[in-house]
Amino acid sequence: MPSRRTRRAPRTDEGGALLAALMEDAEGGIVVVGADGRVEALNAGAVRLLGPGASRAVGRPAARLLRTAVAGEDPAREGLAAARTERETVLIGPGGVEVPVLLRTVRIGAPRRVLVTFRDLTQPRRMREELRRHERLATLGQLSAGVAHEIRNPLAGIGTSAQVLLRRFEPRDERARFVRLILDEVGRLDRIVTGLLQYARPRPPQLKSGTLAACVERVLEGQREALAAAGVEVEVAVARRVPSLWIDEDLVQQVLLNVTLNAVQAMPGGGRLRYDVRLSRRRRPPRGPGRRASDASRPGAAGPGGWLEFAQVRVSDTGTGIPPGVLDKLFDPFFSTKPQGTGLGLAICQTIMHEHGGSIEVSSREGRGTTVLLNFPVEKRHGERRQRDAGADRPHAAHRG
């Protein structure tokens, strides 16, 4: 049971006493930052969430303690400049621990200070909310599959008839332009139907030993010309000692490709796209909307302090960023800001990541770019599915993540 004693009492006046009481009782993290940008106080919740190294932050620049996954972002400094702020982001603690949080700042007092509060988004309440949301999405997926099958047959008939009709017109015939428009729209509808089926009934991952670095390299090889044409400079950094994982490389590449294309579209004037393949430490995320009960993953061994080790691909761009109202809806099926988008790309990516026992998270600020975190548990997820698919009984490979 962590101590609830604050690391340093803010002030002894009435407002300071109220603030100290709030910090004692709060379950989440609280950090008080002075006008000089240095940490004045933090509560036990902040130390519990960010790791033991946070206890040494008093008197030091808050920018060292409150770092996020978005490069150059400084929540404390922005909190001093604005009356209130609120957003979901990923905090990176002094020891490299990553925590998805709901972060709020409130400017208080004279001289000016800022109260930074953050709540862990992997806690049971959040997990229950996510479970209800996943149940709704599963129902939507089942309905979508039925609708998709009903649409696909007449759609094929329309496409075939339009192709026959097009062959009867001369290329310069004005009527041929309208037929080609029909074919274009049939193609778009077919992509939507395909996406619906993939979201509703994802194929089981075929788990094999592979590396995230190899997946990144294959995606970049396929997009090399497109990236050059868009004026996007690519950087890849692979940390040492990132192990091989049990993954479906095709599905992982599908996720990376979707994230890459989104990043390029967010940089219409060119920019920099960076891939970091590394290890990270964090609490295990709540189980996502996996489509099979038999695919429930088992947590691996926790490290010191209860943290788990994950292999991570961090994809960062210098694009336009994502507004907060849009950021909250990114993984909702059929939500898209693109005129020709189906709104299923990131929803499918989230399902693929959950099927691997991992997670996908997005941190972004308008005008500063976007960072996508793809987290894979460092475990041998050989599992029942792979044994069943291979038709072999391998008791030593039965450990599952």
Task: With respect to residue 26, please indicate whether it lies within any of the assigned structural domains.
Answer: yes
Instruction: Please name every residue paired with 209 in a beta bridge, in sequence order, or none if there are none.
Output: 246
Supply the CATH number for residue 165's domain.
1.10.287
Task: Please return the burial class of 26, using the count of CB atoms within 10 Å of its CB with bins 0-12, 13-18 and 19+.
Answer: middle
In terms of domains, do 381 and 235 share one? yes
Q: Which of these three, 66, 91, 121, is where a domain ends? A: 121
Q: Tell me what pLDDT residue 383 has.
A: 44
Domain CATH number, residue 288 = 3.30.565.10
The confidence score (pLDDT) of residue 119 equals: 87
Phi first, then psi, for residue 243 (nearest 5°) are -80, 170
Q: Which of 121, 137, 154 is the last residue of a domain?
A: 121
Assess if residue 5 is contained within a domain: no
Q: Are 36 and 108 within one domain?
A: yes
| In-domain check, residue 366 | yes
pTM of the model: 0.64
Please report whether residue 388 resides in a domain: yes
Amino acid at residue number 356: H
339 and 392 housed in the same domain: yes
Q: pLDDT tens for residues 188-220?
A: 888 777 776 666 667 788 899 999 999 999 999
196/225 same-domain check: no
Q: How many alpha carbons lie under 13 Å from residue 135 in its C-beta half-sphere?
A: 6
On whether residue 1 sits in a domain, the answer given is: no
Say if 47 falls within a structural domain: yes
Q: What is the 3-state secondary structure (H, E, C) of the chain?
A: CCCCCCCCCCCCCHHHHHHHHHHHHCCCEEEEECCCCEEEEECHHHHHHHCHHHHHCCCCEHHHHCEECCCCCCHHHHHHHCCEEEEEEEEECCCCEEEEEEEEEEEECCCCEEEEEEEECCCHHHHHHHHHHHHHHHHHHHHHHHHHHHHHHHHHHHHHHHHHHHHCCCCCCHHHHHHHHHHHHHHHHHHHHHHHHHHHCCCCCCCEEECHHHHHHHHHHHHHHHHHHCCEEEEEEECCCCCCEEECHHHHHHHHHHHHHHHHHCCCCCEEEEEEEEEEEECCCCCCCCCCHHHCCCCCCCCHHHCEEEEEEEEEECCCCCCHHHHCCCCCCCCCCCCCCCCCHHHHHHHHHHHCCCEEEEEEECCCEEEEEEEEECCCCCHHHHHHHHCCCCHHHCCCC
Same domain, 225 and 136: no
Residue 242 and residue 302 share a domain = yes
**Do 113 and 153 have their domain in common?**
no
Could you tell me if residue 9 is inside a domain? no
Tell me: the pLDDT tens digits for 221-239? 999 999 999 999 999 999 9
- Regarding whether 248 and 103 lie in a shared domain, the answer is no
Domain count for the chain, please give it.
3
Domain that holds residue 144: 125-200
224 and 309, same domain (yes or no)? yes
| Domain endpoint, select from 78, 104, 121 | 121
Answer yes or no: do 256 and 212 share one domain.
Answer: yes
User: Do both 164 and 242 map to the same domain?
Assistant: no
- On whether both 87 and 38 belong to a single domain, the answer is yes
Q: Is residue 2 one of the residues assigned to a domain?
A: no
Stretches in the chain below the pLDDT threshold 70: 1-26, 123-149, 196-201, 283-307, 339-342, 380-401
pLDDT attached to residue 22: 65
Q: What is the CATH number of the domain that holds 110?
A: 3.30.450.20
